[in-house]
């Protein structure tokens, strides 16, 4: 018997081999894992902002990274395992990310573990860098910091390799830029300027491209700004090492004004070194025709810093917008004044230290000469410090006067902090106190004429400030409607103004601005007197008149004087509608064409009474009146 032929299953039929191959490929593609998408910059910036880096607390951020890594490893099962007598540490890899049959395959936490391990090592290195500033012997800390930064660099490269294998195009670019930035920071701390610059340029190129094509434009732009600052410093060091021209103090101060954690400590040391180089040319100081040499290096460096602060103040007063800090002119000028006051105080302290040191030495002619020069220098710096405080207060007064109600538009008053005469009076009191403090500065090195000119200048300034203080006190009383007291105070202000003008004539070297202010004060006093008289005359009227005039035009209220300074309304436009009587034009025209019916029978009047005037008119004319045809019916129609 013949055996039955084995039948081929339908799925293994020869004719179906071509159809089985595409099905297997489709199944393989379905099992393949899609490229991972992750915003690296947003992830780390949000974590840093929420965990201490707003206040440069790198230890807190490092502890956060440790806890986050532990949680993610526990969820993914990447815990250390004991194999024999050794523990094996599981690290994220492409094999684990694409492991088939695992429900955790393709999980973004594999990439996040590699990212936050890099962040933890970097945060540890930055923590050690800040600890170095608090210890004198920090050589061991520096070595530890460099090892941590080297580990962060190595982990960043591993993170980039993992992201390049499993991530999409954007993740690959961000990981490449992040790894280059970590490498640049590592080489920057090792002072390998060329390698750091190359890494920074590569990271800046990628972040600049991402800033123009991503939603995180602000974050990318901020990172690019930090990279630019570090790159400029690297270029400066390369130029300096190659024998090129070194940077000026202005360039270093511009870099120092940009907040950067890596640059601050290095720039402080470099600024001191550059100032010492420039201070070598500063050998003497002159004041009122007398010049003394500067023998102490510390005082010379402090005076060089003062000169630099003066240049920054001049630049801040000239610019309408400070390009370094991005703040408005007033804020930039106040910051420049503050920096200049700090430098003057440092110079005074350095000079006082020299005086104390020389006072303790054995008396000799040379020591006495050096001590006398140091005391002269101390008096000069104290006088300049007091003069700077006066200039600062005068600038504040001018800025406050610009915010008085009459100097601010009505549309801008809600957004502007208006000033009051009381605050201006207090500022002039502070100016008077500053002048009084300058009287204690010794002037024994000058002759009688020079010392007398200094005394006359201080007296003239004090007289002008007292006159302005009285004027603002009088204006405050006028606004408070105390017209009797205001009249007395303004009269006293006029007398003080005359005394101030007389005092300015005795000080020919006084600032022209102070002389002009003294001369202009009389016009202000006269204007305030006229305003006070008008307000006093109108104060007796009923307040209802002023309330009724509120919001109405001047043409409607010609006898009401406004007591507040504001934009006047001449007339209301468009004018309001006025009702007028409407005449019945149709009936006025139709009455001449209508004949009304005879209603004498109903009213009780005879027709003879109505026809008598017509008959009399006919007889007086000497003729017979033609009898009009009698009409019947309504309106004479029938």
Whether the predicted pLDDT of 11 surpasses 80? no
Strands (E), 229-328: 284-287, 290-293
**35-39, 66-70, 159-163, 567-571: range with lowest mean pLDDT:** 567-571
Whether the predicted pLDDT of 541 surpasses 90? no
293 near 380, Cβ under 8 Å?
Answer: no
Question: Which alpha helices (H) appear in 419-505, and where do they start and end?
Answer: 421-438, 448-479, 483-505
Residue in the block written with tokens 């502070």: 430
637 near 631, Cβ under 8 Å?
Answer: no
pLDDT for residue 94: 67
CA-to-CA dists, residue 52 to 48, 49, 118, angstroms: 7, 6, 17
Sequence-separated (6 or more) residues with CB below 8 Å from residue 16: 10
pLDDT for residue 288: 84
Long-range contacts of 244-250 (CB under 8 A, 24+ apart): 246/274, 247/274, 248/274, 249/274, 249/275, 249/278, 249/308, 250/308, 250/311
Q: Phi, psi (5° rounding) for residue 292?
A: -130, 145
Domains, in order of start, for the chain? 36-190 (1.10.3450.40), 280-410 (no CATH), 428-541 (no CATH)
pLDDT for residue 157: 92
Give the torsion sign (CA, 320, 325, 331, 335): negative
Whether the predicted pLDDT of 327 surpasses 50? no
Buried b (16+ CB within 10 A) or exposed e, 165-204: ebbeebbbbbbbbbbbbbbbbbbbbeeebeebbbbbebbb
pLDDT for residue 270: 53
pTM, 2 dp: 0.50
Whether the predicted pLDDT of 265 surpasses 90? no
Query: Which among 378, 366, 479 has a CA at the least distance from the CA of 420?
Result: 479
User: How confident is the model over 42-62, as a mean pLDDT?
Assistant: 89
What would the two tokens of residue 117 be? 């391990």
pLDDT for residue 64: 94
User: How confident is the model over 189-206, as a mean pLDDT?
Assistant: 89
pLDDT for residue 329: 73
Q: How far is CA 471 from the centre of its chain?
A: 34
CA distance 53 to 56: 4
CA distance 143 to 123: 15
The band of 332, judged by pLDDT with boundaries at 50, 70 and 90, is confident
Q: Phi, psi (5° rounding) for residue 147?
A: -65, -40
pLDDT in tens, 208-243: 777 655 556 777 878 888 888 888 888 888 888 877
350 near 296, Cβ under 8 Å?
Answer: yes
The band of 31, judged by pLDDT with boundaries at 50, 70 and 90, is very low
pLDDT for residue 21: 47
Q: Phi, psi (5° rounding) for residue 80?
A: -70, 140
User: How confident is the model over 447-476, as a mean pLDDT?
Assistant: 91
What would the two tokens of residue 493 be? 């202000």
For the chain, what percent of residues have pLDDT higher than 70?
70
Question: Which alpha helices (H) appear in 77-133, and where do they start and end?
Answer: 94-97, 109-132
User: How confident is the model over 133-158, as a mean pLDDT?
Assistant: 87
pLDDT in tens, 395-451: 999 989 888 888 888 778 777 888 889 999 999 999 999 999 898 888 888 888 888
Pick the residue with more confidence: 279 or 75? Answer: 75
Whether the predicted pLDDT of 249 surpasses 50? no
Highest mean pLDDT among 190-194, 257-261, 283-287: 190-194
pLDDT for residue 56: 86
Give the torsion sign (CA, 22, 28, 30, 34): negative
Whether the predicted pLDDT of 43 surpasses 80? yes
Angular region, 551: left φ>0, alpha ψ -120 to 50, beta rest: left
Q: What is the signed CA dihedral for 541, 546, 552, 554, rounded to 10 degrees?
A: 40
User: How confident is the model over 554-566, as a mean pLDDT?
Assistant: 64
Residue in the block written with tokens 């600049």: 208
98 near 33, Cβ under 8 Å?
Answer: yes
Whether the predicted pLDDT of 466 surpasses 90? yes
Arithmetic mean of pLDDT over the chain: 77
pLDDT for residue 459: 92
SS3 105: coil
User: How confident is the model over 170-191, as a mean pLDDT?
Assistant: 90
335 near 309, Cβ under 8 Å?
Answer: no
pLDDT for residue 4: 41
pLDDT for residue 32: 57
- Residue 321 pairs in a beta bridge with 328
Q: How far is CA 486 from the centre of its chain?
A: 40
pLDDT in tens, 620-636: 545 444 555 555 555 55
Pick the residue with more confidence: 306 or 9? Answer: 306
CA-to-CA dists, residue 516 to 513, 520, 521, 529, angstroms: 5, 6, 9, 21
């Amino acid at each position: 018997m013949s055996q039955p032929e084995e039948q081929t299953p339908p799925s293994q039929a020869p004719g179906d081999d071509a159809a089985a191959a595409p099905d297997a490929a489709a199944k393989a593609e379905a099992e393949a894992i899609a490229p991972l998408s992750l915003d690296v910059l947003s992830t780390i910036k949000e974590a840093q902002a929420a965990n201490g880096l707003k206040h440069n607390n790198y230890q807190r951020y490092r502890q956060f990274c440790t806890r986050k890594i532990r949680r993610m490893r526990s969820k993914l099962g990447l815990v250390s395992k004991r194999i024999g007598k050794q523990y094996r540490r599981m690290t994220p890899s492409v094999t684990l990310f694409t492991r088939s049959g695992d429900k955790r395959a393709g999980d973004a936490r594999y990439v996040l573990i590699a990212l936050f391990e890099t962040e933890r090592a970097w945060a540890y290195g930055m923590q050690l860098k800040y600890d170095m500033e608090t210890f004198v012997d920090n050589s061991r800390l520096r070595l530890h910091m460099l090892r941590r930064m080297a580990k962060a660099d190595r982990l960043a490269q591993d993170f980039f390799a993992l992201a390049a294998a499993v991530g999409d195009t954007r993740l690959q670019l961000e990981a490449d830029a992040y790894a280059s930035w970590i490498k640049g920071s590592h080489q920057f701390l090792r002072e390998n300027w060329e390698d750091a610059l190359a890494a920074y340029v590569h990271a800046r190129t990628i972040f600049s491209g991402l800033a123009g094509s991503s939603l995180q434009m602000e974050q990318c732009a901020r990172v690019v700004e930090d990279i630019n600052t570090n790159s400029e410093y690297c270029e400066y060091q390369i130029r300096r090492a190659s024998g090129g021209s070194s940077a000026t103090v202005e360039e270093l101060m511009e870099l120092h004004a940009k907040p950067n954690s890596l640059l601050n400590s290095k720039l402080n040391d470099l600024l001191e070194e550059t100032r010492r180089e420039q201070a070598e040319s500063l050998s003497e100081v002159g004041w009122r025709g007398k010049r003394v040499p500067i023998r102490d290096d510390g005082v010379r460096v402090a005076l060089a810093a003062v000169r630099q602060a003066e240049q920054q103040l001049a630049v801040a007063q000239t610019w309408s917008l400070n390009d370094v800090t991005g703040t408005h002119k007033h804020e930039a000028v106040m910051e420049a004044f503050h920096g200049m006051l700090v430098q003057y105080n440092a110079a005074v302290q350095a000079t006082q230290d020299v005086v104390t040191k020389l006072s303790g030495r054995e008396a000799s002619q040379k020591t006495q000469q050096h001590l006398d020069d140091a005391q002269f220098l101390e008096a000069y710096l104290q006088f300049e410090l007091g003069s700077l405080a006066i200039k600062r207060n005068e600038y504040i007064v001018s800025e406050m006067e610009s915010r008085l109600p009459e100097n601010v538009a009505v549309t801008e008053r809600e957004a502007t902090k208006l000033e009051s005469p009381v605050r201006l009076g207090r500022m002039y009191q502070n100016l008077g106190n500053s002048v009084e403090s300058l009287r204690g500065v010794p002037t024994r090195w000058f002759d009688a004429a020079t010392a007398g000119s200094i005394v006359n200048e201080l007296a003239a300034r004090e007289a002008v400030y007292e006159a302005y203080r009285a004027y603002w006190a009088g204006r405050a009383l006028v606004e408070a409607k105390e017209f009797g007291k205001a009249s007395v105070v303004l009269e006293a202000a006029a007398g003080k103004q005359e005394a101030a003008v007389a005092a300015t004539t005795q000080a020919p070297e006084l600032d022209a601005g102070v002389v002009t202010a003294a001369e202009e004060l009389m016009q202000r006093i006269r204007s305030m007197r006229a305003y006070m008289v008008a307000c006093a005359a109108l104060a007796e009227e009923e307040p209802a008149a002023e309330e009724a005039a509120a919001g109405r035009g001047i043409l409607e209220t010609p006898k009401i004087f406004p007591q507040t300074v504001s934009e006047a309304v001449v007339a209301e436009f468009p004018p309001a509608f006025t009702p007028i009587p409407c005449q019945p034009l149709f009936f006025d025209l139709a009455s001449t064409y209508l004949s009304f019916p005879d209603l004498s029978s109903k009213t009780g009047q005879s027709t003879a009474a109505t026809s008598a005037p017509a008959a009399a008119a006919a007889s007086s004319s000497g003729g017979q009146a033609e009898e009009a045809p009698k009409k019947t019916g309504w309106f004479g129609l029938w």
